[in-house]
Every structure is written in structure tokens, then in C-alpha cells.
Amino acid sequence: MESQDLRRAGLKVTTPRLKILEILAGSGIEVLRHLSAEDTYKRLLESNEDIGLATVYRVLTQFEAAGLVSRHHFEGGTAVFELNRGEHHDHVVCLDCGRVEEFADADIEALQGKAAERLGFSIADHSLIVYGHCQRTGCAYRKA
């Protein structure tokens, strides 16, 4: 039950929070994993939920603070959110169709860490995004 996650995060269990968590968790489909606030809002409307956009932003921000979701800034001024599933990973974004794929590479992580240490930094976080073009059928239809 998702209510547990909310309680554990010290948040009251409310409809908006449950529904948003559901939407983030429900779309197991990888292409739909990364949602903007607006995307999430639209999904809520489609589900006939009467939840304001401001609440969506508030809830997503709280989820982020609670460690339930991650916020990413892919290019285009709009932030996207994704449910945390434990393991860290980086992203590849298709410039044509917006498709987002994930990958994890321990070697890259290690090298990053070394580079930052060499400069006298203790690492708190990092963001690695590769932009490219995917060679998939159906590509380019989402951006249009």
C-alpha cells in the first residue's frame, strides 16, 4: 500500500498525494516514467480528479524532499519527476521524440568521484544527461 510510503515520509495521507504517487508508480512503461508537473496534472484530469496544478507542484516538491521522487532538468525549461526505485541511474534523452532511457555505469560514477575529489570537493550529487537521437520506429512523433 502506498499510504505507508506517505506516512513514513511524515506526510498526511490525502487524495492528491495518493493519486500522484499512483500516477508516478502506475506507469511502469518506461517512456512514461518521467513526467512534468503539467503531465501529471493532465493525467489527474483524465482520471477525473479535481486537483489543482499548484497542489501538484507542492506535492511533487514534498516528495522530492522526502526522497520519494527525483527531479531532473532536461533541456527545455521544464522539470520532470520520476519515482525513486533505489538504484541510481543516469539518462539519455532523444532530441527528436523526447524518449528518455536510463542507464547505470559504476565506472563512470567512480571516475566522476575521483575527478571531483581531485578538485577538493566532497560530492553531494550529480547529474549526467546524454542527448542524442534514437533510431526507433515511431521516433519524432511525440515532439510534434
Count CB neighbours of 69 within 10 A: 22
User: What residues line the site for a second copy (CB under 8 A)?
Assistant: 73, 75, 90, 92, 94-95, 101, 103, 105, 107-108, 111-112, 115-116, 118-136
Please report whether residue 105 would count as binding DNA according to CB under 7 A.
Answer: no
Question: Site size for DNA, by CB under 7 A?
Answer: 24
Minimum distance of DNA from residue 47's CB (angstroms): 12
At position 90, the amino acid (one-letter code) is: D
Name 49's Cβ contacts closer than 8 Å, sequence gap at least 6. 15, 16, 19
* Contact by Cβ (8 Å): 93, 100: yes
Length of the chain counted residue by residue = 144
Residues of this chain, 11-30, that bind DNA according to CB under 7 A:
11-17
Minimum distance of DNA from residue 21's CB (angstroms): 11
Q: Distance between the two ends of the chain, CA-based, in angstroms?
A: 38
List residues binding DNA (CB under 7 A): 7, 11-17, 36-38, 50-55, 57-59, 61, 77-79
